């Protein structure tokens, strides 16, 4: 399967998500007269009590977590459909950033541009959850968490196989007083030694591949968000 065929599947899956889940899009004009867009769960995501923002990996665009699974014919396992469905069922908003819509963003510049734009549209009373997967996790740690103005709006962060050293991840997480959830697949956890955590960090090692991690982690993610905002949470559990 070549990249053009994968992009055609991406477009088809994006249309399915929008049609079946009745999600909408935010459109904003950027450079070169191109439109960057972010699919969202509902028209009222700006005022939802909780809104998640996905920072995807490279080179995925909108509908899939991993093109590797798509190449293997595992479209269902890679589709973000379940995330949009689960967040909508809980009355939450969900926004998917699209930094690679036209070309690959290896610097994190468009991640930050898009995140700033989306945050401006969300109510100050909304709890914001960042979900950084792979390279998106790396950008969360190395770029977003260094932006003080952005971090003032973030209520908790979920990292799925962040593409940076775990030592750096833990150091940055300890510095902030918000809840963190870190999920590591077998592909990543085997490279990390035993770590000393802080009370605001919850880490899971998940029996799956890097590509499978986002969808296999979904139930834990939903529970974590509910626990953070609706109940007391014991990070030492």
pLDDT digits (tens, 9 = 90+) for 155-192: 999 999 998 777 777 777 778 878 999 999 988 877 66
**Is the pLDDT score of 32 beyond 60?**
no
- What residues does 184 pair with on adjacent strands? 205
State the pLDDT at residue 2. 86
CATH number of 3-230: 3.40.50.1820
d(CA 105, CA 162): 16
Mean pLDDT, the chain, as a whole number?
A: 86
Q: What is the mean pLDDT of residues 94-108?
A: 91
**Reduced to 3 states, what is the DSSP secondary structure of residue 214?**
helix
d(CA 70, CA 58): 14
């Amino acid at each position: 399967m070549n990249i053009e065929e994968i992009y055609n599947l991406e477009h088809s899956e994006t249309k399915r998500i929008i049609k079946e889940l009745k999600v909408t899009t935010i459109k904003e004009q950027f450079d070169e007269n191109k439109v960057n867009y972010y699919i969202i769960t509902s028209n009222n995501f700006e005022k939802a009590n909780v809104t998640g923002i996905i920072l995807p990996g490279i080179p995925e665009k909108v509908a899939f977590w991993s093109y590797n699974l798509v190449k293997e014919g595992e479209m269902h396992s890679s589709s973000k459909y379940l995330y949009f469905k689960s967040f909508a069922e809980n009355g939450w908003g969900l926004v998917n950033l699209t930094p690679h819509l036209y070309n690959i963003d290896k610097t994190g510049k468009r991640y930050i541009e898009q995140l700033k734009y989306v945050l401006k549209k969300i109510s100050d009373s909304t709890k914001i959850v960042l979900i950084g997967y792979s390279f998106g996790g790396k950008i969360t740690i190395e770029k977003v968490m260094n932006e003080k103005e952005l971090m003032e709006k973030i209520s908790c962060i979920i990292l799925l196989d962040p593409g940076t050293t775990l030592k750096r991840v833990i150091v940055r997480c300890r510095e902030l007083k918000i809840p963190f959830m870190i999920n590591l697949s077998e592909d990543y956890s085997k490279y990390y030694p035993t770590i000393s955590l802080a009370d605001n960090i919850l880490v899971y090692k998940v029996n799956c591949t890097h590509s499978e991690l986002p969808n296999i982690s979904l139930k834990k993610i939903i529970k974590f968000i509910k626990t953070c905002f609706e109940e007391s949470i014991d990070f030492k559990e």
